[in-house]
Amino acid sequence: MSLEDWRPANAGDEVTGEPLQRASWLNRTFNRLLPGSLLARLALVMMLGVLASQALGTWFWAAQLRTRSNEEAREAARYIGYSAASALRFFQSLPANYRPLLIEQLREMGGTRFFVNVNHGPVDIKSVVDAPLAQSVVETLTTTLTQELPRLSTYRIGFAWPDELAVTEDGVTLSDLPDSWVQHTLLVKPRPAPILVIQAELESGDWLYLATLMPNPYFLDQANPLTRDKLALQLATLVAVLLLSLWVVRWLTRPLALLSEAAEAFGQGANPHLPESGSREYLNTAHAFHAMQARINRYLEDRERLFASISHDLRTPITRLKLRTEMLDDEHDRREFHEDLDELEMMVKGALQSVKDTDIHENRTAIRLDTLLNRLSEDAKMGGFEVAVAAAPITVLGKPLALKRAISNLIDNAIKYGQRAEVLLSNRDGETELTIRDYGPGVAEEALPTLFQPYVRLEHGKQTNQGGMGLGLGIARDIIHAHGGELTLANHPQGGLQVTITLPRTASMG
């Protein structure tokens, strides 16, 4: 058996099929969900990271604090249980008529850990504390007392607030007692703490009433670590970290925005200069951009000089050939030579004119397109042509001569090949839109893409304008592209050809 026979038949499909499709689907999903800009993506990732780490850290800290608080409360409950068991044993060993006397002496001496009272029955305690931590204390305390005093099986344990705490079966409350009885035992002012009440039935039938505080009187504050104050502190910290993160992300991505703006400006004919200050990586990028900019400028200058030299050098041999053609005896041959030489000379002039028209060296300035269109319309009307203009007052930033030459070429084509032209200038979706429609026969759909190619002319154009070279549309599109816009051709539904120019909102000034 060969290795090829051993390999499963669908092994290749499993590697390059479903997993790759799943990965591609995930990438498309993430791209749809994430914002488009790098600044927004980095800010979102950092924000989610900070939120996740803050939430995880807070949850872990709260869980640890709850566990520690529960352990401390249980240990305190066992300590109080041992003390309460000792007090119960002591009062259980006393004669019943001695107990009130001893309690009164203890109060006069300043009290003990417990506020002590003896009743003939259990006092109804209104327990208002139902936190899980308080319930854990009650359960631990009940277990401790049961282990220490197995003969006393009846206990009533609970927490109550001082202002609602009854101390006798006839309804006397803690607030009715003298301050000296409770000031050394219970915490009432200025911030009341929950009081733990233990009631146990002695063998004589009396109920011993013990009231005390937990070692940490405000232990219930630790039952919920996420208090309003702590949440406010966490929120303030989170906001500060997020603001700092956003500032750092913007600071890091600003050089990329500057590079993008410089590249767009350079593509539209300007010569931007990137600031050479910042990180090492940005400085390297700025130096590389400036070097590329210099190379492209040299290439454009060399190309213009090359075409000028070629045009100049070709004129002399073409002229000589024309002179020699005149010396031919055969009229037919002389006419054919003249036609070929005229065509060659026209192609040389057209190539040179194409370079000059697209490489117009001028500064960008504010241009009122509506004023420019009205002026071109008046010039056309003086020549006997009909041009209707409907233009909103729109100002763009661009090269005046270049834009004038591009729009003038399009209007000239419309009135030469379509008898008359309609021009509409408006703002649409934040972009400047200029449409020029003629009333000619239109163009076949399959021939529309070829109209931008040099020296391509349709039969209708050759018949209407025999002196054209088929360079106007290409030159106009190159100028519009240099301004960051688009030029498209389409047949109008009611007949004729429609040219649409869109300039981006960055080129628009109002």
Size of the chain in residues: 510
Q: Please tell me whether residues 333 and 385 are part of one structural domain.
A: no
- Across the chain, mean pLDDT equals 77
**Range in 141-150, 226-235, 342-351 the model is least confident about:** 342-351
Residue 402 lies in a domain: yes
Res 357: pLDDT: 54
Q: Given 297, 319, 354, which residue is the final one in a domain?
A: 354
* Boundaries of domain holding 28: 1-33
Q: Please tell me whether residues 443 and 495 are part of one structural domain.
A: yes
Q: Please tell me whether residues 393 and 462 are part of one structural domain.
A: yes
Backbone phi, psi, residue 499, to 5° = -105, 130
Cβ-contact 497, 418 below 8 angstroms: yes
Report d(CA 336, CA 328) in Å as an integer: 11
Q: Please tell me whether residues 376 and 319 are part of one structural domain.
A: no
- Please say if the pLDDT value at position 108 is more than 80: no
**Range in 175-189, 294-308, 358-372, 481-495 the model is least confident about:** 175-189
For residue 315, the domain's CATH number is 1.10.287
- Please say if the pLDDT value at position 116 is more than 80: yes
Q: Please tell me whether residues 332 and 466 are part of one structural domain.
A: no
Residue 384 lies in a domain: yes
- Please say if the pLDDT value at position 269 is more than 50: yes
Residue 407 lies in a domain: yes
The pLDDT confidence band at residue 1, using thresholds 50, 70 and 90, is very low
The pLDDT confidence band at residue 260, using thresholds 50, 70 and 90, is confident
Q: Which residue has the higher pLDDT, 240 or 267?
A: 240
Residue 261 lies in a domain: no
The pLDDT confidence band at residue 435, using thresholds 50, 70 and 90, is very high
Residue 265 lies in a domain: no
Q: Please tell me whether residues 306 and 418 are part of one structural domain.
A: no
Helix 132-148 and helix 38-93, axial crossing angle in degrees, nearest 10: 30
The pLDDT confidence band at residue 11, using thresholds 50, 70 and 90, is very low
- Please say if the pLDDT value at position 3 is more than 50: no
Q: Please tell me whether residues 316 and 404 are part of one structural domain.
A: no
pTM score of the predicted model: 0.44
The pLDDT confidence band at residue 458, using thresholds 50, 70 and 90, is low
- Please say if the pLDDT value at position 396 is more than 70: yes
Residue 51 lies in a domain: no
Residue 330 lies in a domain: yes
Q: Please tell me whether residues 436 and 497 are part of one structural domain.
A: yes
**Range in 269-273, 285-289, 290-294 the model is least confident about:** 269-273
Q: Please tell me whether residues 88 and 145 are part of one structural domain.
A: yes
Average pLDDT over residues 165-183: 76
Report d(CA 500, CA 401) in Å as an integer: 20
Q: Given 222, 250, 268, which residue is the final one in a domain?
A: 222
- 35: cis peptide before it, omega within 30°? no
Res 8: pLDDT: 45
Q: What share of the chain in percent tops pLDDT 70?
A: 76
Q: Please tell me whether residues 318 and 372 are part of one structural domain.
A: no
- Please say if the pLDDT value at position 76 is more than 80: yes
Q: Please tell me whether residues 495 and 401 are part of one structural domain.
A: yes
Average pLDDT over residues 126-139: 80
**């399959």: which residue's tokens?**
446
Report d(CA 40, CA 35) in Å as an integer: 6
Q: Given 319, 354, 389, which residue is the final one in a domain?
A: 354
Res 398: pLDDT: 84
Number of domains in the chain: 4
- Please say if the pLDDT value at position 376 is more than 80: yes
Q: Please tell me whether residues 396 and 377 are part of one structural domain.
A: yes
Cβ-contact 318, 342 below 8 angstroms: no
- Please say if the pLDDT value at position 226 is more than 70: no
Average pLDDT over residues 416-439: 86
What Å distances lie between residue 440 and 124, 460, 486, CA to CA? 104, 9, 23
Residue 64 lies in a domain: no
Res 88: pLDDT: 86
